Amino acid sequence: SSFEYVKLFERSDVLLPQCWPVVRIDGRGFHRFSDVHGFRKPNDDRSLGLMNKAATSVMKDFKDVVIAYGQSDEYSFVLDKKTNLYNRRESKILSNMVSLFTSCFTFHWSEFFPTTPLKYAPSFDGRVILYPSKEVLRDYLSWRQADCHINNLYNTVFWALVQEGGLTPNEAQVKLKGTNAGGKNEILFSQFGVNYNNLSQLYRKGTVLMKALGSNLCAAGDGDKPSDTILSLNEDIIRDDFWKAHPEILRDEGENLAKKNQQ
């Protein structure tokens, strides 16, 4: 029709090639959402389970996600640096991934919260960030895992002081102001007999999702082809060990040289 010229106002938003696109989604107003739906404090296994379920679905659908990391109300999806998903169109990638995540979260709600009806529709924001090197990408993931640790330690002590220590939220906040990690560990241990390091890794480390390599799963090797199975781990991804154990995730130069100039 004669109105079609309006399509020209759409802007091209192709992501720079050979950078790793990261899509981070984060629950919108989950402070209120978790309150309204009675999330357990500081961590609710149902909520974490549902987040992981939704993220797993996203990874199964979008095969170019090489690793995902989640904690609290957020999830980060790392796409392969060579991905050609939606021709690397940023809005397409962003909107489709956020939308599918959201839909799965809502769709699977009752499996994880069988006794808590959804009171209103939950939603998530999202953004795409480009990381040009393996090192910076790892620093990104370390940033999120360090954030998990900091928040979780704080929340753990805070809610111990409130729920078991009988402090008001305000008093707990005042007591924690200015304490460092050591101080918080100390309170936990001396006052509540809790050794923070013995808490579930799920809470302390968050969740890593990655593809099970074919070779991991069956002896009759079909090489290194990624299978459809998604592995869920609660490991440290800040230190080198994880990355040494899974070099295929961010495999880079080797493959690069092989496929060179072909992308």
Ligand X SMILES: Nc1nc2c(ncn2[C@H]2C[C@H](O)[C@@H](COP(=O)(O)OP(=O)(O)OP(=O)(O)O)O2)c(=O)[nH]1
Q: In what order do the strands lie in the sheet with 74-79?
A: 124-131, 20-27, 74-79, 65-71, 207-213, 226-233
Site for ligand X in 43-62 (CB under 6 A): 43-44, 47
Span from 4-12, 31-39, 169-177, 227-235 in contact with its own copies (CB under 8 A):
4-12
Cα–Cα distance, 148 to 169 (Å, whole number): 21
With CB under 5 A as the contact rule, which of the stretches 4-12, 65-73, 103-111, 134-142 interacts with Mg ion?
Answer: 65-73
Instruction: Tell me which amino acid residue 38 is.
Output: G
- Looking only at residues 71 through 110 of this chain, which bind ligand X when binding is defined by CB under 6 A? 72-73
Q: How far is the CB of 211 from its own copies (least distance, A)?
A: 20
Q: Is 27 in the site for Mg ion (CB under 5 A)?
A: yes
Q: Is 147 in the site for Mg ion (CB under 5 A)?
A: no
Out of 30, 69, 77, 105, the residue judged to bind its own copies by CB under 8 A: 105
Q: Is 151 a binder of its own copies (CB under 8 A)? A: no
Residues 19-48 that bind its own copies (CB under 8 A): 19, 25, 28
Beta strands in the chain (DSSP E): 20-27, 65-71, 74-79, 124-131, 207-213, 226-233
CB 15 within 8 A of CB 21: yes
How far from chain centre, in Å, is Cα 24? 7
Q: CA-to-CA distance for 99 and 81, rounded, in angstroms?
A: 22
For residues 154 and 144, what is the distance between their CA atoms, to the nearest angstrom? 15
Length of the chain (residues): 263
Among 31, 119, 177, 260, binds ligand X (CB under 6 A): 31
Token readout for 190 is: 């001396």
Residue 181 sits in the site that holds its own copies (CB under 8 A): no
Asked if residue 27 binds ligand X (CB under 6 A), the reply is: yes
Decide: helix, strand or coil at residue 131.
strand
Work out whether 30 is an interface residue with Mg ion (CB under 5 A): yes
- Interface residue list for its own copies (CB under 8 A): 1-12, 14, 16-19, 25, 28, 57, 91-92, 94-96, 98-108, 118, 120-133, 135-136, 139-140, 142-143, 146-147, 150, 253, 256, 260-263
Which positions touch ligand X (CB under 6 A)?
26-31, 34, 39-41, 43-44, 47, 72-73
